[in-house]
């Protein structure tokens, strides 16, 4: 297998997932800032032009970080980051979807329309006038998420999961693109610090190819 990695939040989510799993996979770096992901060589592999992607041993390619994580969990079920039972897997997917649909997609698009506008305007439809509203929605929904968290240390209570990875990486990204979150949120604030303290959080900052053999 070969991971197509990049300096971007979704690939970092996959890197952190791999580090938590203790998996080391060969990797190639796609320079998204130079638009390499929009060139024919990469589009032949992944017509969506997004990163990450995973080329399987038969040459076929999986795209979308969530789908790749699900695939790798089936191949390597321990340590379980999605779940060992149907109930655990459903709980992880519940929180994963809550984070993605209500918070991280708004962070993502607000970046496209504001701080990342010069980069994305030639590539995708952009709505600059919508950026401030998207940022407000992301922060409002994060407060909503905070209100639903239980007393456990992680989104799924006592079980660290792929949902924690997804939300953490995107909130950490938001800090770098003028979308800081309220660290005073009573549950999300301490939760963020707990995730940041995991060795995989720091390791995931480095590209897989750069960290090979480290």
Residue 211 lies in a domain: no
Here the CATH number for the domain that contains residue 21 is 3.40.30.10
pLDDT digits (tens, 9 = 90+) for 46-82: 999 999 999 999 999 999 999 999 999 999 999 999 9
Residues 118 and 69 occupy one common structural domain: no
Cα 80 to Cα 156: distance, rounded to the nearest angstrom: 12
Residue 189 lies in a domain: yes
User: Exposed, middle or buried: residue 58 (CB in 10 Å: 0-12, 13-18, 19+)?
Assistant: exposed
Q: Which residues of the chain have pLDDT under 50?
A: 212-214
Query: In the 8-state DSSP scheme, what is residue 36?
Result: G
- What pLDDT score was predicted for residue 210? 76
Residues 90 and 162 occupy one common structural domain: yes
Here the CATH number for the domain that contains residue 124 is 1.20.1050.10
CB pairs under 8 A, 24+ apart, for 136-142? 137/106, 138/103, 138/104, 138/106, 138/107, 138/110, 138/174, 138/179, 139/181, 139/182, 141/102, 141/103, 141/106, 142/103, 142/171, 142/181, 142/182, 142/185, 142/188
Task: State which residues form the domain around 102.
Answer: 86-201
Query: In the 8-state DSSP scheme, what is residue 157?
Result: B
- What pLDDT score was predicted for residue 211? 56
Residues 26 and 48 occupy one common structural domain: yes
Residues 20 and 123 occupy one common structural domain: no
Which SS3 state, helix, strand or coil, does residue 5 take? strand
Q: Show the beta-strand stretches assigned E in the chain.
A: 2-5, 27-29, 53-55, 61-63
């Amino acid at each position: 297998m070969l991971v197509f990695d990049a300096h971007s939040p979704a690939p970092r989510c996959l890197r952190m997932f791999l580090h938590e799993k203790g998996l080391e996979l060969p990797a190639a770096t796609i320079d998204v800032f130079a638009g390499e992901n929009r060139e024919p060589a990469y589009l032949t592999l992944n017509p969506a032009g997004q990163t990450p992607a995973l080329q399987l041993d038969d040459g076929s390619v999986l795209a979308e970080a969530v789908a790749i994580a699900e695939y790798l969990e089936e191949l390597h079920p321990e340590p379980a980051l999605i779940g060992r039972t149907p109930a655990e897997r459903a709980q992880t997917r519940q929180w994963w979807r809550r984070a993605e649909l209500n918070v991280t997609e708004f962070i993502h698009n607000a970046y496209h329309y504001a701080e990342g506008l010069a980069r994305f305007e030639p590539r995708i439809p952009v709505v600059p006038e919508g950026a401030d509203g998207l940022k407000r929605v992301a922060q409002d929904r994060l407060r909503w998420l905070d209100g639903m968290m239980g007393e456990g240390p992680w989104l799924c209570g006592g079980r660290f999961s792929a949902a924690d990875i997804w939300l953490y990486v995107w909130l950490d990204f938001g800090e770098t693109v003028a979308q800081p979150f309220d660290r005073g949120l009573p549950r999300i604030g301490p939760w963020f610090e707990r995730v940041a303290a995991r060795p995989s959080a720091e390791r995931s900052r480095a590209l897989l190819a750069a960290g090979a053999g480290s």
